[in-house]
Structure 1
Amino acid sequence: MRRRHHFHIDYRGHSVTATVETGLRPVVEVLVDGKETGHMAAREDRPVAVPIELPTDPPTPATVRATVGPGVPRCLLLAEGDPDPHVMAPRMY
């Protein structure tokens, strides 16, 4: 059964949203400021790292790491130059 989970964080003045679709073929989609910047299919319940860029000057490379399963999915934002990962909060839509 497919199910969609949404996660969000505001980071350095930019909106980063991830949608994790679970099921037979899990998929992770990432939006930065409302524009799709990353999309990746997962293999089974393995974590997925989706590379993105934040539109700063110069652009800041970042990664959204999604743990698809088992259980409830989770997402972290890892930005270059920032040693700590940031937990992306679940969103209900």
Structure 2
Amino acid sequence: MGRSHHFHLDEGGHSITVNVGRGRDGEIELLVNGKVIGYQQKHGPGMTLLTGELPDEPVRPFRVRVREPRLVPTGPRCTLELAGGPEQPMPERSERPVS
């Protein structure tokens, strides 16, 4: 079944988080400063693209790419492209144990 994956990056005083649900068919949530701003109900192997904006003046658009390997059973990779700049990897956070 697989596990959930959580990616996070702080950018210009804002928190950008991507939560990828369990398995290859799980949902993807995109959060800015803890608020869900994008959602993809299902995803499969290949690439999923989500877009959003950072609430600055003026707003700064960004894209997040979630890549699920097609042939190799490894976890997803996530990158951030801010305002047309270069893609930067988003580090994966480990799951916190439930107490």
TM range (shorter): 0.7 to 0.9
- 1:44 aligns to what SS in structure 2? coil
Conserved 8 A contact 2:24-2:43: no
TM-score normalised to the size of structure 1? 0.87
Aligned to 2:77: 74
Conserved 8 A contact 1:22-1:68: no
Larger-Rg structure: 2
Matched, 1:45 2:41: no
Report the Cα distance in structure 2 between the residues aligned to 1:64 and 1:40, rounded to whole angstroms: 12
What does residue range 11-90 of structure 1 map to in structure 2 within 5 Å?
11-23=11-23, 25-70=25-70, 71-82=74-85, 84-90=86-92
TM-score normalised to the size of structure 2? 0.82
Bigger share in strand: 1
Kindly, what percent of the aligned residue pairs are identical? 36
Cα RMSD (Å): 1.6
Shift in Å, 1:2 = 4.5
Structure 1: runs of 5 or more not aligned: none
Aligned to 2:7: 7
Report the Cα distance in structure 2 between the residues aligned to 1:80 and 1:21, rounded to whole angstroms: 26
Report the Cα distance in structure 2 between the residues aligned to 1:25 and 1:31, rounded to whole angstroms: 19
